[in-house]
Amino acid sequence: MTDHPTTDLFIIGGGINGCGIARDAAGRGMSVTLAEMNDLASATSSAATKLFHGGLRYLEYFEFRLVREALIEREVLLQAMPHISWPMRFVLPYHADMRFENDTPTSKLLSGIMPWMKGRRPAWLIRLGLFMYDTLGKRGILPGTRKLDLTKGEVGKPLNSKFKTAFEYSDCWVEDARLVMLNARDAQDRGATILPRTKVIGTKRMADHWEITLEDRDSGEIHTRRAKMLVNAGGPWVADLLQKQLNIQSNETVRLVRGSHIVVPKLYDHDRCYFFQGTDGRIIFAIPYEEDYTLIGTTDADHTDVDSPPECTKEEQDYLVKFASEYFNTPVTRDQIVWTYSGVRPLYDDGASSATAATREYVLSLNQDAAPLLNVFGGKITTYRKLAEAAMAKISSALPNLTSNWTAGVPLPGGDFAVEDVKTLQAKLATDYPFLSAYATRRLIRAYGTEAWEVLGEAKSATDLGQDFGATITARELDWAIEREWVRTGEDYLWRRTKLGLRLSEEERAAVDGYITQQVSKLAA
């Protein structure tokens, strides 16, 4: 049995939805425990296209509520985490003769009225969509849409000369895995218990509480916790958990959609992103990534087995390379690919005909047959905070007398500065630690914000930071990540807390992993 007191809320799943709910609940004074079977953000939440965006293409599916909520959220989130998120301008090249295999509700409606429009997104329709994009949500920081002449300036230079005109609009970038970790950090700071690498292996539902049996995946230890209410935020595993661990039969399920991305050396020098329309009706982005690379994605493919790790297949790589090459002057080739990643999006199964058309809306299902259970289906990273608020509204009906919403505008750890002050903060860090390279200064502020000073401590020289592992990684930073960010392996640090694995050789990555393993063993001793 357990000697732990009964908590108010037990959350299964350490992705963005689970950690967002944990933070919100802990901030309302609830006792919260969260268990994640692997590392935090180890699945979908570290494999996104890494955008806070309204979802311009969702307007074609008439998902106006979702788009409006996401558009409003962009600036709310931006102000709470200006270190790990920032504004970006997106360029949508337009070519009047391009035709698409477009079966969206909008396309079908237009084709019925104007048959000659079949397969086309006319300029006026794009302008209408962008006008709605600008006006559905409030904007105080992000500039609005404008038309571009691609024959002038740097934006058109990388593109095929057939593209003469483009539309430019605003969205935001976010470091997705760090977003998850910072929500978990803030939840813990507010009293929550966060248990990475802890798998739920059994549950027992009583009239007024749950008993949850857990396995520590590092030590093999089995222990039990109790909670008044359970939240199933298992992401791709939400339906699997519902049926196999919680023993509840339900018609509600998720559609698993694999989204794959490729990373290549940077294809252009400016800081804009490109939004490309494919002849198959899909879209992809080409995004400046980690200063020296370009990120291209994503695909939409059904993924049948939740326990089969998603991989960017050869076919998907070929698809993305070919798609991007239709727009760029210089074709993108497979041998340019330096890294690929793939994630499974657990979309609520609304019976859509294709993975692309499946809804991005989230669905929260409350079951109160005995001790209450909340199941979280779907969602997108941009609306994670609103999803958490909606989840708390459901939770309050089962566990009443909760305090009101509080997370809007409250910064995440390290984010207690203004959006426009990033460069000022970088300059101050460079002054306080003059031995840092310009790249290290930029990277540390973008990763840690005002906590960069805590990471570096009283160091007076580079040698004070300990062993140099390459790519500005030092022993001091790794120790911080182990102590404060639940890092237990090289993969945790190199591919989720950061993306510095891109900049290291195989031998250097092994050295980072070896150091982390050694330090973790010392702590466990």
Half-sphere exposure (Cβ direction) of 20: Cα atoms closer than 13 Å: 30
Which pLDDT score, from 0 to 100, does residue 3 have? 65
Which pLDDT score, from 0 to 100, does residue 60 have? 72
Which pLDDT score, from 0 to 100, does residue 354 have? 52
Which pLDDT score, from 0 to 100, does residue 136 have? 82
Chain position carrying tokens 């980690």: 290
The parts of the chain modelled with pLDDT lower than 50 are: 1, 106, 108-118, 353
**Residue range 444-463, pLDDT digits in tens:** 999 999 999 999 999 999 99
Residue by residue, DSSP assigns 357-425 as TS---EEEEEE-SSS-EEEEEE--GGGHHHHHHHHHHHHHHHS--------TTPPPTT--S-GGGHHHH
Distance separating alpha carbons of residues 348 and 339, to the nearest angstrom: 29
Of 60, 62, 90, the residue nearest 74 (C-alpha): 90
Model confidence, pTM: 0.93
Q: Which domains does the chain have, with CATH numbers?
A: 7-45+177-253+359-398 (3.50.50.60), 254-271+290-348 (3.30.9.10), 419-524 (1.10.8.870)
Give 332's DSSP letter. P
**Residue range 272-288, pLDDT digits in tens:** 999 998 888 788 999 99
Which pLDDT score, from 0 to 100, does residue 131 have? 85
Of 418, 168, 179, the residue nearest 270 (C-alpha): 168
Chain position carrying tokens 């000022």: 424
**Residue range 240-296, pLDDT digits in tens:** 998 888 888 888 888 899 999 999 999 999 999 999 988 887 889 999 999 999 999
CA dihedral 495, 457, 452, 438 (to 10 degrees): -90
Residues 71, 133 contacting (CB under 8 angstroms) = yes
Distances in Å between the alpha carbon of 478 and those of 228, 429, 455, 481, 484? 37, 19, 9, 5, 10
Which pLDDT score, from 0 to 100, does residue 347 have? 86
Distance separating alpha carbons of residues 240 and 400, to the nearest angstrom: 29
Which pLDDT score, from 0 to 100, does residue 103 have? 55
